[in-house]
Amino acid sequence: MPNVALPGALTFAGTNASKYLLEPMFHSDEIMRNYSIYPNVKYKQFITMAPGLKSITARNSGCDTTNACDPEGFTMEQKELEVFQVSVKQEQCWSAFQNLYIAESYKAGLNMPDLTGTQIADVILNRIRNAVQYDTVRNMWAGDSGAAVADCSYQSMGDGLWEKLSVGTAINSATQLREVTATTTVAPNLIAVGAAIDPGDADLLLQTVFDTAPAELQQTPASEKRIFVTPNIYNAWYGSLTTVASATLTTGATDYSHSEAQSGANYNRIHFRGVEVVPMYEWDTALTALTGADVPPLFTAAAAGIQATQGAIYAAKDNLIIGSNVMDPDNQLKMFYDEVSDNMYIRANFTMGFQYGWDSLVNGGMLV
């Protein structure tokens, strides 16, 4: 068996901990390309938002200091972004740890008889960073500070956007997503997480969410927006784009659909009317875990009387906010081995919180 040496404890504190744990995560494609980062939120930060001015012109009334006609006026709004103290506390028996990370290192191309402390630390750090990134994206949407679910990590970063959008009645002035009636998908598949969705219904959902969006969202450049969807909405839309014609099906008979169905070259990045569609695999995980009193109100279809599991949220990237404090001296990342217990320990501390900006820059729907 190769030897693995981790000399003493590896400790990063303050900005160094942020450099190794938070900043690479924030710079990743999954976060940087889809959300807005506020990196210096100490506890609470009030985000001052000024709407675009309109309806401010009036006929000149002479020496008056104000216009008699000023229907909109100059206004400012504030949104509170609060971050919460988050910790990571992991431990593992050294022998199991050694075998696991030797295997992980070989996968990464480190095919050698001995691993140095720096190399093994990098392997550990990558796994921790990936796990924190997963929890951050999942909790950004599904976080619930009052959740009673067995997985307590849903409470770790405060309320996520599902809760905040519902409480703020941000979508269609309601606590839930818009209800879009499916035409061909069987009813059980609309409430079963991960069930197959008919491509026509996926198309209908995307059309509805796009067409009913507020004017401010519609006029935002396509490159600055995203449509976040449950995985099988994504798969159904991709299937619609790559349908191959047959004797009974005449759609999709194009060179693109034939070649794409075979190569899948564009599967990881598809669009709807110029807006990138993002599959949220974390949503399925959350919708499976959050049951009973923890069911997200945003996916509760009041009119249809069901708990939906297939949805889409259409938003401007700058309107979806992740807050943290990368300068916090209390940020910490530790990895150390304890000879008494023969365990490997990992400890991390940082802050994280979420918020959205304008109601007019978000829209959403769910199949019912």
Torsion angles phi and psi, residue 356, rounded to 5: -120, 165
Q: Is residue 9 situated within a structural domain?
A: no
List the structure tokens of 291. Answer: 């049951």
Counting the structural domains of the chain, the total is 1
Higher pLDDT, 147 or 171: 171
Task: Give pLDDT tens digits for 89-143.
Answer: 888 777 777 676 666 666 666 554 444 556 666 777 888 888 899 999 999 999 9
Tokens 């009913």 — which residue? 212
Q: Residue 171: its pLDDT value, please?
A: 95
Domain enclosing residue 246, as ranges = 173-321
| Closest CA relative to residue 23, chosen from 324, 282, 321 | 324
Asked if residue 211 lies in contact with residue 367, where contact means CB atoms within 8 angstroms, the answer is no
Radius of gyration of the chain (CA): 24
Higher pLDDT, 3 or 288: 288
Q: Is residue 258 situated within a structural domain?
A: yes
Is it the case that residue 208 has pLDDT exceeding 80?
yes
Q: Is residue 92 situated within a structural domain?
A: no
Sign of the CA dihedral 93, 96, 97, 98?
A: positive
Banded model confidence at residue 65, pLDDT cuts 50, 70, 90: low
Q: Is residue 275 situated within a structural domain?
A: yes
Banded model confidence at residue 3, pLDDT cuts 50, 70, 90: very low
Is it the case that residue 254 has pLDDT exceeding 60?
no
Task: Report the residue count for the chain.
Answer: 368
Higher pLDDT, 249 or 66: 66
Task: Give pLDDT tens digits for 315-365.
Answer: 999 999 999 999 889 898 888 877 787 787 888 999 999 999 999 999 999
Asked if residue 349 lies in contact with residue 331, where contact means CB atoms within 8 angstroms, the answer is yes
Q: Is residue 178 situated within a structural domain?
A: yes
Average pLDDT over residues 67-92: 76
Q: Residue 50: its pLDDT value, please?
A: 67
Output the pTM of the full model: 0.84
Tokens 């507020």 — which residue? 214
Q: Is residue 360 situated within a structural domain?
A: no
Is it the case that residue 2 has pLDDT exceeding 60?
no
Q: Could you tell me the CA-to-CA distances from 144 to 98, 162, 305, 328, 330 in Å, in that order?
A: 35, 9, 23, 24, 24
Asked if residue 300 lies in contact with residue 176, where contact means CB atoms within 8 angstroms, the answer is yes
Q: Residue 117: its pLDDT value, please?
A: 56
CA angle 124, 24, 352 (to 5 degrees): 95
Average confidence score pLDDT of the chain: 83
Higher pLDDT, 69 or 11: 11
Q: Is residue 54 situated within a structural domain?
A: no
Contacts of 16 (CB under 8 A, 6+ apart): none
Query: Which residues face 276 on adjacent strands?
Result: 226, 271
Banded model confidence at residue 186, pLDDT cuts 50, 70, 90: very high
List the structure tokens of 360. Answer: 């007019």
Higher pLDDT, 26 or 222: 222
Q: Is residue 276 situated within a structural domain?
A: yes
Tokens 């941000």 — which residue? 170
Q: Residue 337: its pLDDT value, please?
A: 76
